[in-house]
Structure 1
């Protein structure tokens, strides 16, 4: 990695939490300068504008979040355990989730849907990546005869993702981790009653 690439990565890593906590529109150049201790010129020497940095920060936040979930899921021996590991990660790590501003995919989605259209494609891609991971897990369970072959893996992945995102929002706004446990129970119920053979 060149010095310029290291500087660019440093700016992304330092500004990514700001964007997730304060919002993509509300995070100012001054906030980014304070976090990085770099001048405006140094920041704009690496990014054409705040929007380009915001997209890079979102992609970093998204990849980081998906990476944490994938680590939790990778420890599972079965597809069933892997699907349950997803909500259990949030139930076990809720304090960190709250401290870092909640789910970066959902946070960016709210802004991108309403008015920050330049973020929309990146957010869609992040959500697709997350749902594809769930879909592949379900399909692995179908291949291993854990889950019903006729179950629509794409629909169940979207349902599980929606349950989690909704409960992450509730947990964060209500400042109450019980919503993570509610999501975990409902996802487990879906697995047992609708997916399992």
Structure 2
């Protein structure tokens, strides 16, 4: 059950995503977040002490949600191809969303907050692990390729790097959807 404090915290995080998406990481102030949330400084500071703390919460929430969705889908025996399609659909949705700037801000965060580099490395490893769960499930259910040269970790790492590059670049480059779909089609050919 979510209590009022957790709802407020989530409200702040959701508003902060929009602010970071528009302004990047280093340009955002607590004042910006207070204004976006239409909350007093005390209201926001009661949940977070800094923009850095808010950004870390955004990053952590994202991974927890992704992992929970994948694990629940596998537990419910959703076909592996549907899980993979949902994964790519979500990634493409981000590329064309108003929040695509968040991925540029994530890289800015990694450069600005040197003490968070290990967190970013762990985030990468966890993202690869989540995708490997999908690939393993797909192989076990015989929906995906299964042969000696199919190294799940290499394929998962390639996909994560590729999609991260697209999401980061989408905030500054015009990316035609049909070209993105062709690229995603190539990735699917590696797997299915």
Q: Report the alpha carbon displacement of residue 189 of structure 1 after superposing the two structures with TM.
A: 2.7
> Do residues 17 (structure 1) and 15 (structure 2) align?
no
Q: State how 1:138-177 maps to structure 2 within 5 Å.
A: 138-145=135-142, 146-150=144-148, 151-176=150-175, 177=177
Query: 1:181 — aligned with what?
Result: 181
Q: State how 1:67-146 maps to structure 2 within 5 Å.
A: 70=70, 78-91=79-92, 93=93, 97-102=96-101, 104=102, 106-145=103-142, 146=144
Q: Residues 24 and 174 of structure 1: is their aligned pair in 2 closer, same or farther, counting only changes over 3 Å?
A: closer
TM-score by length of 2: 0.75
TM-score by length of 1: 0.73
The list of structure 1 runs, each at least 4 consecutive aligned residues, that deviate by more than 6 angstroms after superposition, is 73-76
CA RMSD of superposed structures (Å)? 3.3
| Structure with higher RCO (Cα < 8 A, 6+ apart) | 2
In structure 1, stretches of 5+ residues that fail to align are: 193-197
State how many pairs are aligned.
Answer: 186
Task: Tell me the distance in 1 between the aligned counterparts of 2:158 and 2:90.
Answer: 18
Task: Tell me the distance in 2 between the aligned counterparts of 1:166 and 1:69.
Answer: 23
**Is the Cα–Cα contact under 8 Å of residues 88 and 184 in structure 2 kept in the other structure?**
yes
Q: Residues 35 and 68 of structure 1: is their aligned pair in 2 closer, same or farther, counting only changes over 3 Å?
A: farther
Query: 1:195 — aligned with what?
Result: none
In structure 2, stretches of 5+ residues that fail to align are: none
Q: Residues 76 and 184 of structure 1: is their aligned pair in 2 closer, same or farther, counting only changes over 3 Å?
A: farther
